[in-house]
Amino acid sequence: MAEETIFSKIIRQEIPTELLYQDELVSAFRDISPKAPVHILIVPNKLIPTVNDVTESDELTIGRMVTVAGKLAAQEGIAEDGYRLVMNCNEFGGQEVFHLHMHLLGGKRLAPL
């Protein structure tokens, strides 16, 4: 089993953090080191270390992450202008916390990739 992460503690509110969204599958909260005016992390409540560890049984959770991103983008007022969703995988992909998470970035024009 994968080791517990800081995100696990945030999900359980052992580390007090304002949850912007939480249901039985996913939680969302602001990134502590934002790279854009709006920078929200959407994480599965179940610890999945990387994209490589996603299984067919996780498909509902991954889909929920995307639908929650859309809801939060609308709530934050960035849906119409546009936003970016990013999932990093492993060290070379830029992943720092090994608990799968999606970055919702927006609120300004983002540089092309």
Q: Looking at the annotation, which residues are catalytic?
A: 101
Whether 83 contacts 31, CB under 8 Å: no
SS3 label, residue 73: helix
Whether 65 contacts 22, CB under 8 Å: no
Q: Give 78's contacts (C-beta < 8 A, 6+ positions apart).
A: 38, 106, 107
